Amino acid sequence: MAVSPRTHRARQLRKDMTDAERHLWRALREAVLPYKVRRQHPIGRYIADFAIPARKLVIEVDGGQHADAAQADAMRSCMLAAHGYRVIRFWNNEVLGNLEGVLYAVISELEKSPTSP
């Protein structure tokens, strides 16, 4: 069975996670959330760092950025919203320096209705 290029890329990204992504992935797994968390999850033409499909939530972990990357992130967020997903973003240094706060923000977002603004 042939694997699509997007699926192949998602698999590669799972193997090559950043330190911040690795820390957050471990914390999300240890948090014993009542929802399945997917890492490097394809949605539309993009691959989300983390997704919780049951709650239509995407969690993105961003490194240092230039203006073009911020614009690309905005377009990506719009596309994910068109698929019904809410997007929350954290900087690498937030994840590495305040993991508890990041988890609190994720859990707070999960408690909201999937259709809440």
Residue 15 is assigned to a structural domain of this protein: yes
CATH of the domain at 32: 3.40.960.10
Number of domains in the chain: 1
Question: For residue 47, how far is the Cα from the chain centroid?
Answer: 9
Report how far apart, in Å, the C-alpha atoms of 41 and of each of 9, 80, 98 are. Answer: 10, 12, 24
Residue 116 is assigned to a structural domain of this protein: no
Provide the pLDDT for residue 5: 66
pLDDT digits (tens, 9 = 90+) for 27-80: 999 988 899 999 999 998 898 999 999 999 999 998 765 556 778 888 888 999
Name the nearest CA neighbour of 79 among 44, 48, 38, 114: 44
Instruction: Tell me the residue type at 75.
Output: M
As a whole number of angstroms, the distance between CA 80 and CA 103 comes to 21
State the pTM of this model: 0.81
Range of the domain at 102: 5-111
Residue 40 is assigned to a structural domain of this protein: yes
Looking from the CA of 1 toward its CB, the CA atoms found within 13 Å total 3
More confident residue, 116 or 16: 16
Question: For residue 19, how far is the Cα from the chain centroid?
Answer: 14
Q: Does residue 115 register a pLDDT over 60?
A: no
Q: Does residue 15 register a pLDDT over 80?
A: no
Residue 117 is assigned to a structural domain of this protein: no
